Structure 1
């Protein structure tokens, strides 16, 4: 696992779910669902906390993780001996700003902390944010939080 954790890659999901192939839903919700499932599997497998040197950045603002943490926590409480702790995992992960709604970005910050959030653009996908600085500017963050989100965290995290 150690060599794989050193790679820096952008996953590309092509959902096999026919329900998302119309109406542009692959970009609107399909990738979110794929990301939520992938991140939940990493969390429950215990990989996020076991491999503490692995820097996990959950795209799409963590997909739906901040919104389903209660359900993940409840599921964990039913089988703690076999599942990784979702609260510990969410606290160890990082997130991008690609939620495209200031209320959602504020909620993400309230759940995981603004210090865990970094700028994202969602490129190369067509649903990407063409002006990614705007959502950070328009969300109620302090100047220090904006500086961190707009590049400071990425510089520290990736040694740039």
Structure 2
């Protein structure tokens, strides 16, 4: 039986030291041994359960969903890109070290990804190296740093470093725009997150990042790549018809297919089929957004039930593609 590997899950430690003196840093309000609330200053950000920090609980729920391996990444609210580089690296070290403590009891079935102070490329590269030496297997980054997108020179420098060392990169949207229109119905999450991911892929293509980064870069975008697959035809048409504004990459947008992967968190077989048709069966990796409410449970149910997939294709989506992305040892199994 092929391994099932979930590349998109998050963790939150059960506690951490005080991060700042200005009253805006995230902290955890414990409600009980099994429940807590992430606080940002005096505001409630998200209620969470023990499956965010407890390896035994995660492994039990992985068994329920027949998942063999999880990539365990930071929760983006902790990225701290808006703080000074010194604060950013200090906070990254706190959470990266706690992530190893969460994953350690799982015998290799929980694969830790670190965070870095992306606002400073030199510090980001240094923290990545520290984390790789300590046991992290990859890095999760936010899709922008303020108004700097993934084609920013400093971020490209970091991605070049990841390519040179073979480190897998998982890109997660965060810090979505805020307005009265977006503050209803979780619209920031329902429209803002897909739009942010789509915009970041445009930056990688039209901003020339893919032209500057070696094709050895292993990079995966969350939430099915946002709306990119659906609107690739519009982007391609614009590249040809408005060369003065859009035709800025070395190649047409479709030429960059195969340079990146996306996860499968799209919740509908028709949407999954679009991803497979547009991006290729080898570029879609199982993801769930576990353990948060907008994630998929049981994990992988859309992939498992998709009638259009052949069994070899299903095995690639459930774990084969992710195992390659992570360079996962063969011995890590159910």
Same fold per superposition (TM over 0.5) = yes
- 1:14, distance to aligned residue in structure 2 (A): 1.9
The residue number in structure 1 matching 2:203 is 41
Matched, 1:90 2:257: yes
Within 5 A, what are the aligned runs for 1:26-37? 26-37=188-199
Matched, 1:144 2:312: yes
CA distance in 1, matches of 2:249, 2:238: 9
The two structures have a TM-score, normalised by structure 1, of 0.88
- Structure 1 pair 89–124 and aligned structure 2 pair: CA distance change class (3 A): farther
Bigger helix share = 1
- Structure 1 pair 37–159 and aligned structure 2 pair: CA distance change class (3 A): same
* 1:89-126 residue CA offsets vs partner (Å, 9 max, x unmatched): 23322111011111110111111111211101123543
Q: Secondary structure at the match of 1:87?
A: helix
CA distance in 1, matches of 2:322, 2:255: 21
Contact residue 177 and residue 188 of structure 2 kept, 8 A: no
CA distance in 1, matches of 2:172, 2:279: 22
The two structures have a TM-score, normalised by structure 2, of 0.45
Q: Secondary structure at the match of 1:31?
A: helix
- 1:68, distance to aligned residue in structure 2 (A): 0.5
Provide structure 2 residue ranges, at least 5 long, that are not aligned to the other structure: 1-156, 329-334
Matched, 1:73 2:236: yes
> C-alpha root-mean-square deviation of aligned residues, in Å?
2.0
- 1:62, distance to aligned residue in structure 2 (A): 1.5
Q: Which has the larger radius of gyration?
A: 2
* 1:35-58 residue CA offsets vs partner (Å, 9 max, x unmatched): 111111111122225421212212
Matched, 1:55 2:55: no
